[in-house]
Chains A and B, each alone.
Chain A
């Protein structure tokens, strides 16, 4: 990578973030906005530092529930996506249910989950799972359903069975779709976990923010938001890197 490319892929995004914070700070200072309405980034960072051990503890909890929910969603989404991608009948049969299910606001489900599982980790994991599996299913199913018939003919003329067709064509063909959906799903999983924590938990960043806002500690609320955003970016970057490594054939310009 040349200096220019390196600047474009790391420097520019960093500049944009710094710029946003400066703008934010400038507006708060300029209009003398009190910190219980909108705290300046400098105040938020201070709060972040002050509450670092509590934030760390709650972040670990949120990260754990998110990753577990996301992991389950990945496995489930992959299998269901492949199945309905392979069978047009199943696709037609299940798709309306999936869409209907996905249209339900997940906040509305959390109270039900609490009745079933009590407050805490389990509802958070389940909400993260419920909110993030849909894009995975849809993407994987699309990848399977759009396999070129010519490629299938190549394998069929060699006498390949269904399983081989899947392993040699279906699986690799879906990978770019799968990874694209993972990037969406991981951020959604955070949303799910935090939603559940704000409604029904005594641990996690969501809980921390609700507790802080109850005390009008708005800087701490924003510190929580910052942490979630930061975690989201980190996981997104990890999955992008994985994606490029495993499906580089689909991203020609990066080779």
Chain B
């Protein structure tokens, strides 16, 4: 069943001098429970805007964002978000950063004092699952970029969100770390079966991770293509070198380039 739906969504930014910038145009998107969706597109095509709409940080100018057929009206608690920058709070250790959502989101917040020990264990387990058990008490600046991004993923997941929104989370990492984190993310998602919406400009990343890939055009962002990716789970890095994989990759790439030339 469809859990999340964007119906004819337009978004227009108005700057101070009343100049209107169309960021998104006529977006239609249906995401089912437990689905892993990737959105690919050139930079500046409104991918981040799309995520902010789903998170309830922005309201659509036209159209509707629906969750379980209810329109989204404000920031959502069932959402976890990770950004391109790890955006960890520098005065908190890795563990304390992961615990942050539990201090804010209900129902955890009310029981925070009472269940602190349980929560700490939960956070430690999560950190351990991304290979950061020994680094729980390190400050962000003592961690590498990849490690910080793992902590950021843990923070996005600790309150067990129904929807995980990832805004180019691996964009700033080197290729090896990035691939390593693909596997980490796949593993985390597979265990939790939440919805993931991954925004990226890396087509290979999108195909490797997602059940369904959407391609967006340049501004104003429209969805100009979509594919199902049916490779069996859990996928291994070697799979991304198979013939079918590279065929699909070429196909998507051609579509993006085609759209670029058409505009």
List residues of A whose CB falls within 8 A of some B CB: 148, 150-151, 153-160, 164, 168-169, 172-173, 175, 247, 249-250, 252, 255
B141 pairs with A154, CB closer than 8 A: no
Interfacial chain A residues near B165, Cβ < 8 Å? 157
Interfacial chain A residues near B159, Cβ < 8 Å? 158
Which residues of chain B from 57 to 103 have a CB within 8 Å of any chain A CB? 57, 74-77, 79, 81, 83, 85, 87, 89-92, 100-101, 103
Contact status of A168 and B103, CB under 8 A, knowing A151-B87, A159-B75, A159-B76: yes
B91 pairs with A168, CB closer than 8 A: no
The smallest C-beta distance from B43 to any residue of chain A, in angstroms, reads 17
Contact status of A158 and B90, CB under 8 A, knowing A150-B83, A150-B85, A153-B83: no
Q: Which residue of A lies closest to B84 (CB)?
A: A150
CA distance A173 to B141 in the complex (A): 15
Contact status of A154 and B103, CB under 8 A, knowing A159-B74, A247-B91, A249-B139: no
Supplied contacts A154-B155, A158-B75, 12 more A-B pairs, CB within 8 Å: A150-B87, A156-B57, A156-B75, A158-B159, A160-B104, A168-B89, A168-B104, A172-B89, A249-B90, A249-B92, A250-B91, A252-B139
Q: Would you call B213 an interface residue if the criterion is a C-beta within 8 Å of the partner chain's C-beta atoms?
A: no
Interfacial chain B residues near A175, Cβ < 8 Å? 91
List residues of B whose CB falls within 8 A of some A CB: 55, 57, 74-77, 79, 81, 83, 85, 87, 89-92, 100-101, 103-105, 139, 141, 155, 159, 165
CA distance A214 to B113 in the complex (A): 64
The smallest C-beta distance from B199 to any residue of chain A, in angstroms, reads 14
Contact status of A154 and B76, CB under 8 A, knowing A168-B103, A250-B91: no
The smallest C-beta distance from A149 to any residue of chain B, in angstroms, reads 10
CA distance A173 to B91 in the complex (A): 8
Query: Could you tell me the dominant secondary structure of chain B's interface residues?
Result: loop
Contact status of A159 and B77, CB under 8 A, knowing A150-B87, A172-B91, A249-B90: yes
The smallest C-beta distance from A226 to any residue of chain B, in angstroms, reads 39
B91 pairs with A249, CB closer than 8 A: yes
30 contacts between A and B (CB under 8 A): A150-B85, A150-B87, A153-B57, A153-B83, A153-B87, A154-B81, A154-B83, A154-B87, A154-B155, A157-B75, A157-B81, A158-B75, A158-B77, A158-B100, A158-B104, A159-B74, A159-B76, A164-B104, A168-B100, A168-B103, A169-B89, A172-B89, A173-B91, A175-B91, A247-B91, A249-B90, A249-B92, A250-B90, A250-B91, A252-B139
B105 pairs with A159, CB closer than 8 A: yes
Contact status of A157 and B55, CB under 8 A, knowing A151-B89, A249-B90, A249-B91: yes
Interfacial chain A residues near B75, Cβ < 8 Å? 156-159
CA distance A186 to B55 in the complex (A): 46
The smallest C-beta distance from B172 to any residue of chain A, in angstroms, reads 13
CA distance A5 to B85 in the complex (A): 36
7 cross-chain pairs, A with B, having the tightest CB-CB distances, nearest first? A249-B91, A159-B75, A157-B81, A150-B87, A172-B91, A158-B104, A160-B104
CA distance A174 to B186 in the complex (A): 38
CA distance A158 to B57 in the complex (A): 10
The smallest C-beta distance from B3 to any residue of chain A, in angstroms, reads 18
Interface centre among B74, B75, B141 (most CB of A within 10 A): B75
CA distance A151 to B55 in the complex (A): 15
CA distance A156 to B79 in the complex (A): 11
CA distance A55 to B128 in the complex (A): 62
The smallest C-beta distance from B70 to any residue of chain A, in angstroms, reads 16
Interfacial chain A residues near B101, Cβ < 8 Å? 158
CA distance A252 to B79 in the complex (A): 33
Contact status of A155 and B104, CB under 8 A, knowing A169-B89, A249-B91, A250-B91: yes
The smallest C-beta distance from B69 to any residue of chain A, in angstroms, reads 21
Interfacial chain A residues near B77, Cβ < 8 Å? 158-159
Q: Which residue of A lies closest to B75 (CB)?
A: A159
CA distance A255 to B93 in the complex (A): 13
CA distance A150 to B152 in the complex (A): 13
Interfacial chain A residues near B87, Cβ < 8 Å? 148, 150-151, 153-154
